Structure formats: structure tokens, C-alpha cells
Amino acid sequence: MSIKSSLRDTEQIKSCPKGSFIPYGRQYVDEEDIEAVAEVLRSNWITTGPKVSEFEQAVAGFVGAKEAVALSSGTAALHAAMYASGIGSGDEVILPPMTFAATANCVVFQGGTPVFTDVDSETLLIDPKKVEEKISQRTKAIIGVDYTGNPCDWESLRQIADRYKLTLIDDGCHALGAEYKGRKIGSLADMTVFSFHPVKHIATGEGGMVTTDNRAYGEKIKRFRNHGISTDVRHREKSGSWYYEMIDLGFNYRITDIQCALGLSQLKKLTGFLRRRKEIAGQYHEAFTGTQTVTPLAVTADAIHAYHLYVVRVRARNGMKRDKIFDKLRESGIGVNVHYIPIHLHPYYQQTFGCTHGLCPTAEAAYSEILSLPIYPKLNDVDVERVISEIFTILYHE
């Protein structure tokens, strides 16, 4: 069965039996993907070979960027973007707390200080008005996070970054395929970071990418992923040379041809994946819009949402708060999740940087209410209805 037919006709996808577990997200891998990986395993190159650059070119072309560099994970890609930005000891980077810890960790990896700024109450995206309040003489960069796959207000962030001569980085790990004012995420910031973890839009097992229009950034990141060395083994083999130089201190953040072959195969299906995610989001939106207890997040104006996650805010009803609702849904086989604990509330950031409750009140208030509902291409309409039904049953009939 092709991906197109399977995503258009959800009745052909076997429904989860009643009572079985529905995860919040999962990969879609078919026989074409498996064969693409097997072909690489039969070839002469299984790492640092031709599939890496082929995958880079394909992603760059898809998002409309001049350069793309593939790395071993989204976290590695974030770290590389911090390195290319020149972040070091004493430098500050402004970012939202409503994201995975890696968004802040990458700043710390380079010796910098993450400066958390609050989010918009409707979208839970970084609030540009509050960004400007956090800028100091030490500020060197801004990281916007396209939380859930919903694009940030990149126009406002670009204006702020230009005004203060700051590097603008897009953590687009949720947002492959999203658009803002007619331009794809991946072409709006100085550097954009993607993740290819299995629950993301396309999977390479683990994997990440940085896209940019700045060739100097691209070259720095290529060295950084390869121990800071000037050439990789494929380039040396092509030139017939053994000689290389370590120019700077880097890491082994290389990605394999095996992963990139899978990524190339997955990329062909991305349009169908995005379409199905949008359909599921539409079903949830129709079911919950207008209710007083379950509120979908707002979508940025002039944007196309990629729906990596579908997050709702669940307000207490009859004394039943989010955590209790979470437990009951899990007991019924609905794999809801919570994205995320605001980073500044994690013990490491409280102990290391003195972060406290009250630093980002909007994010903190949202954290006590948010739930991520199941959304992935293979989730069919029957199971979407089961998720909706279980939520209403727990909220209104228990």
C-alpha cells in the first residue's frame, strides 16, 4: 500500500483494538524506507558517504535554504548552531522556557548563559515584546522555538535581532513543513535547526539538520561535526590525500548514510504526513473549540502549522485537574503526554543559574494545564474519535 492511499483512506489502516494503547506519536516506516536502508548497507559507504550530501541538498531545497548540514541529532544541530554563532563564556542567549531542555542546554555546552523570557498566553510561543526587555550588553543571540509546529512571529523577531545586531536562530525541530507568511520554516532565521527523531515529521532514527543562507556558518558546522577537522574521509579519498588539519575543537556529531537514506525516503512522504496531521488536528479542533474545559492553542497569523504536537489546555472540572485527567487517560489507553516542564523549573537550572518559580508566569500557568494528544500519520479516524470520546467521558461523566 502506498503512503498516499494509506493516508487518504484511513479505513485501510488497522484500528487499535478497544483498550489497546495509543501513543502520542510514532514513526511511519514502510517497505520503501526499509529497502532504501538495505541498499546503503549493500553499498561501499555506510557513513560519511554520498547519501549525507544528497539528504542535505534535498532538505535545503525543500525549505528554500542555500546550505544544509546534517548531524547526529537535533541536539547536536543546536549545539553546532551555538558554536557557529560564536557563543562563549559570558554570552547570553534569549530563549523561551516552553521547549525541550536541549534548547537551553546547547547554550550551556558553549559556556553561555540561557536567559528565559516568557511566552504568549494564546500560542505559548516566545513573546517578542518580552524579548526586548531581556536584552543586555551580553546578549549575543535569540532562539525562537516553533512550539508544536506553530511558527513564531519571525517578522518581529527579525526586526529585534537586526536592531541589536544579534544572531537569530530558529529551533524548528517541531516545524518541518510549516510556513510563515508564505516562506517555509528553515529559510527565515540566520540558522534553523531540525530534528529527525522518530516522533518528528520524518525519521532517521536519530538525526538533525541546520539550514542557513550563510556559507560561513555552514562551513563551521561541517568542521564542528567532525572533530573540528578541515576535511572528512570522503573528501580525502576523492582527492587522493591523507592529509588533514584539526582547526578547532569539535565533536563527533556525524550522521550515517544509513540514516540519510532513510531520511531521503521519508522526505518523499512528507507532504502526505503533513496532510494527515492537519486532518487529525482539524478533528480535534472541531471537537474541542467552544468547550470551557479543553482549549486548543491559537495558531500564529499568516502561518501554516506543521502539527508535530497537538496541545490543549485542560482546565479543572469538578476538582479534577490536569494530572488526574492525565492519569485517567493513560489508564484508558490514551497515550497523552506533557510538553513541557518549563526549562527554568528543572533542578539543574535552578541550582546552576538560580532560576525560580515566577520567572516566566505565563509558561508556568500553562504547564499546569497542558496535554499533548496523540497525533501521527498512522493514527486513524476511529482512534481519533476514541481519544475525543475518552476525554469527554472523563471530564463530563465521571
- Cβ neighbors of 6 (< 8 A, separation 6 or more) are 12, 13, 378
| CA–CA dist 24, 240 (Å, integer) | 49
Measured over the CA atoms of residue 297, residue 367, residue 98 and residue 391, the dihedral's sign is: negative
Q: Phi and psi for 3 in degrees, rounded to 5? A: -65, -35
Q: Cα 171–378–124 angle (5° rounding)?
A: 30
Domain 3-12+270-396: CATH architecture, name and number where available: Alpha-Beta Complex (3.90)
Helix (H, G, I), strand (E, B) or coil at 204: coil
Compute the distance between CA of residue 65 and CA of residue 190 in angstroms, rounded to an integer.
Answer: 10
pLDDT in tens, 142-151: 999 999 999 9
pLDDT tens digits, 141-194: 999 999 999 999 999 999 999 999 999 999 999 999 999 999 999 999 999 999
**31-267 fold:** Aspartate Aminotransferase; domain 2 (3.40.640)
Specify the residue for cell string 532513510. 262
pLDDT digits (tens, 9 = 90+) for 321-353: 999 999 999 999 999 999 999 999 999 999 999
Instruction: Report the alpha-carbon distance of residue 53 to residue 73 in Å, rounded.
Output: 16
Backbone angles phi, psi at 248, to 5 degrees: -150, 170
Tally the residues of the chain: 398
Give mean pLDDT, residues 343-364: 98
Mean pLDDT of 103-127: 98
* Residue 73 to residue 204: CA distance in whole angstroms: 9
pTM beyond 0.85: yes
Q: List the chain domain ranges.
A: 3-12+270-396, 31-267
Is residue 125 within 8 A of residue 119, CB to CB? The reply is yes
| Amino acid in position 356 | T
Residue 19, pLDDT score: 58
In contact, 225 and 71? CB cutoff 8 Å: yes
Positions marked catalytic: 200
CA distance 126 to 129: 9
